Amino acid sequence: MPNSERTGPLQDITIIDCTMAYAGPFGTALLADMGANVIKVEPPRGDNFRVVPPFPPDYAHPWKRDDEGVDYGMSFAGVNRNKRSVCLDLKTAADREVLLQLCEQADAVVENMRAGVMDELGVGYDVISARNPKIVYGAVRGYGDPRTGESPYADWPCLDVAGQSAGGLVEASGDLYSLAISDMYPGTLMALGLLAAVHQARSTGVGEFFDVAMYDASMTLLRANIAAYGLTKKLAKPGIRALVPFGLFPASDGRVAIAAPVENHWVHLCTAMGRNDLISDERTSSNRRRAANKEFADAQVAAWTSNLSKQEIVGVLGGKVPVGPANTLAEVFEDPHVAAREILESYQPPGDNPELSLAGSPIKFMNSPTGLYQAPPLLGEHQAEVMAEFGITPSR
């Protein structure tokens, strides 16, 4: 069950979160997990991520909600826990004024709309910073914002698959990542940039605008590839590795990851396999030679692993060689590491629903606990509470 109050080292930071979908909310969730006071500002019909399945059994549609239902799916829940929700229609002057009053008392405001949308609504960086010169304004965009660098694609819409493809990840890896990496990583960089800018603003008394482009963030994940291409001007083929063995190998009940390019790990692996001959074999006696004979080296390892279960392999190699079973989520839920680190946390949603699980914060502090303290919010659930806390009396 969630704690009753915010915990973590960022309790003195207030963030007005105008992001929707995945990239922006992923980043603000990281900050909320560490104690930031995150106020999620949603349009009248709510964040469009609310209607992404799966849904708890007792579910009510966001704009036809009753007080006993849950107006979100679990995708929304995963990136919006530890936040409070208010509902504002920024197309109206009254609600724009409410947003500006919230920003007057905040450390930061973030959004992930296309460049220029907030300006057209009358609540862009220039307007907000005029009301609060100390505020940090962060944006996640597909191709950046003209304030930090013009792009010929600045006004293009962008989703994860486009960011992965344009930024080089697809051709570098050979396929699209099934996880929304070009959403999650830009969101993570946004959280980092926000903390840096707030730190500076508190020192100088002057706020800052910054943005993270999904295209740019995807390129950042390829820094080693880019450095290599800058030297050789050669495109590396997906799957070609300079480290061997380094990858997935078959087990009798699935797959297991083994990484033994370092020579002492290779010796341990060969000993475990009963193949001491491979330690001195001229085809496998060094990582350079194994890379030149990758198919042969990998085949020797696979011949051993394929006759053992994942846990048998881990039982032999664990603590000696970098190894990890390719766990299903069912196996992850039962792993003692997950319990020991408290990386799964449960909460009780409204209505007649069972307790549900969410991934906790992976950032652990010794003296400042992080974790789940606020269930994912219903649409506009905290409207009255937040208005009273900020001393705002809406005009409508």
- Kindly tell me the burial class for residue 145, based on how many C-beta atoms sit within 10 Å of its own C-beta (0-12, 13-18, 19 or more): buried
**Which helix (H) or strand (E) element contains residue 389?**
helix 383-389
C-alpha 111/C-alpha 25 separation (Å) is 9
233: left (phi over 0), alpha (psi -120 to 50) or beta: left
- Kindly tell me the burial class for residue 20, based on how many C-beta atoms sit within 10 Å of its own C-beta (0-12, 13-18, 19 or more): buried
Active-site residue set: 183
Alpha-carbon torsion (171, 177, 178, 182), positive or negative: negative
Q: Give 41's contacts (C-beta < 8 A, 6+ positions apart).
A: 16, 17, 18, 86, 87, 88, 99, 102
Structure tokens of 396? 């409508």
* C-alpha radius of gyration, the chain, whole number: 25
SS3 212: strand
DSSP 8-class letter at 204:
H
149: left (phi over 0), alpha (psi -120 to 50) or beta: left
C-alpha 34/C-alpha 40 separation (Å) is 16
C-alpha 1/C-alpha 356 separation (Å) is 9
Q: What does 312-351 look like in DSSP terms, one character per residue?
A: HHHHHHTTTS-EEE---HHHHHH-HHHHHHT-EEEE--SS
DSSP 8-class letter at 134:
T
